[in-house]
Structure 1
Amino acid sequence: MNIYVRFAMCLVFHAAGCLAYVFVHDAVVAFKAFNGGLTIRGIAIGMAQDTFLYIFFSVNLMIVLIPKLWAKLCILAAMVGFILLTMLVDNSLRVLFYAIVQGSITLLAILATQVIESRCAQRASITAEPIEISAK
């Protein structure tokens, strides 16, 4: 697969994931406005949820630029680990939402691009090798 085609495909899938996460993020903000928050413990996360949104966008952009699968998964694990490390003590319910949703959306985009890329490589290898039929 051409490097530019792979880059465009990764960019489309990760941009769709970021767009989906923006809608999920806005749904959480609306839920908090109507119901008074996810937990009533007196601990507000304030700008942390916006910071996680920006981290999510920047991690997805880095993942688009990197071609190796293991590097993409390491960056994803670092993002989820950072979210867990910073929020697990005070906001245990919110950390589950942010870590699971951000991690799963990014993982789905990575897997979708890897499956399409492997199918294209498999299809290219099948069409590249001519079939020889020998008559005996």
Structure 2
Amino acid sequence: MKYNHGELSEHKGIKLLAEEAEKYEGQYPIDMHYVYLTLQKYFYTKREKGANLKRCQNIPEKDMAIYPEFKKAYLEEHDYFVNYPAFKLMAIILEKQGKFEEAIQVCNRAIELGVECDTKSGFEGRKKKLEKKLND
């Protein structure tokens, strides 16, 4: 595989970050969320290449799994909360794959956990849009 210098540095950095993340899974939910967020952004932009699509799905799944622990830990340290894009990203990925039922399940989970979406209609609106696509 041939890389230009910038791609090689980026590839090695992401590989090292992913390896380090594996060592700390189940610990440090705040740090892990931000590691997962970085990895999600990277693999989503490269999702058309090889194994990146699978990684693009696996990482948001891991991030969604730690949401309750992240929220608890974050609110112990801060008096405000931040955007948590893993649920939205996963719903988008599944929608693009035509997996509307699975995307709806992600929306339901986000609604159940009280995750806010940075869109006007939130996860409720996203869910309605997906249900319409499912029934068309």
Category of TM-score, reference length = shorter chain: 0.3 to 0.5
For CA contacts below 8 A with separation 6 or more, give which structure has more relative contact order: 1
Between structure 1 and structure 2, the one with the greater Rg is 1
Tell me the TM-score normalized by structure 2.
Answer: 0.33
Name the structure with the higher helix share. Answer: 1
